[in-house]
Structure 1
């Protein structure tokens, strides 16, 4: 500190604070939101904290100052003990009998005719058809005649008999069982199907955990009062924890092959993700490349996942940045 200018001393104090926050964030997967709800909010900002600490490493290295050690040390800890922020290489093999899985929060299809999108597909339906998934899980589904998805089997669970909103699982393979966990006092839910592929019965879960109801493109996330925003997000994390307990109890009863898809409304640095991903494979971690970004925001936020049981082989994973929704779809090829 003695050899630093006044400006660099201020920067180092900021650097130390952000490095400490990142270190604390590494503990998030082990702390239930029901214990410290406010602490859980930090999981949303881990990508930003990583980027800022990388910036400080570069800054101090350019200036040939040993202060780079604090951030690089914490980044190395994260490299070994937390979910990957960025994947350098990917796995891109394929077998004829791979199960092609897509999970997509379509935001009620209301962006499926986005004129600002410059992709080659006229709308989101055409995009889904072009990817030709064997299994398609949809969050924020909307029942409409405009929904042109042709699958021989499907399970759609709407909020209630009069509602058109809900969740869906489409399959090219026969569905022999289906159900819903029916969360109370929320529009979110978890549904599941058992599909038969050749001699295998595979359980497919479609998760949409409690929404944070934040609007990232608006000032203060769409909330004038920051205290109300923090309280609302904290309550959402507590609801996620309760929903997770229901899921884990239900999942425990199934001993066979499984795929867990969905919008967790939380990152890979959260307690929720840590609990769901135990003894499972994350398709992005196994075969992805880059940030795996699945939410349309300026920094890389991965909140949509495809997980499998440990026996599965993940051959491919990608998350195309098509702008038909506020989420990007996640796709994977899976085998056993």
Structure 2
């Protein structure tokens, strides 16, 4: 009997071997580095993950050869080409091609090596633009996607389907998690290609530093978003690897959302900017609301620990430290 079929009857609670070799694909990006930190904190002794300059995950032969040599026991697939509304809207072919190649190469290589435990990280953008709120995992493929990040979403949906296909065909207990909007140390602060929170941090910090009398933000500020600190996601990843085994993806979020205007005000408060704010309604807002139903993950005993204002303060401290050091990620 396969591991996957056995756990349907017996439940799943199988602590990972702390000496297992864990490959964190994308281990030096914001998400991967948080997962790596948490694994180290949890006493995992053999965490690996070459940098992109050492292993290009879009290169199929290189990925297959690396897996054959490294032979990881557990894989966390956190690698992806990511970006904000502007980047997704202007570079859809790149987002689709790069993410599909990364996923197919890593998943095929993991299957070839018989990796027993794998977690694929997707995104809440996989859900329909007008999905019923809060969005349950069952909303997948029930309606049209948000056009501004459709290419990225399609790639992530393909990854989910590949994991599910491996489960059905090969009986391996691979799983998928769908995080909400993430932020934290290691984020991308590019002026055009970043997500909303790092973009706001960069913009308000610049305004405060230069004494600018006003800040211009994109959209109307009415769209609602849920934000999760990346360190909370890292805890959720280990929780899922040890406690979850089913076909359906699992949402990872806080279960609470705020308007973009509210989060902008919170960023201004954390940074100490007291100038005026204008909203450029010629810029897109994206999906009107995107709040996840996180009851499935909550039933496993996980809950977020880092509140938004605390997480923003931590992220801003990290931003200032790395701004001074000249080591910010800008792409």
- Check whether TM > 0.5: no
Normalised by the length of structure 1, the TM-score is: 0.30
Structure number with the higher strand fraction is 1
Q: TM-score, normalised by structure 2?
A: 0.30
The structure that has the greater radius of gyration is: 1
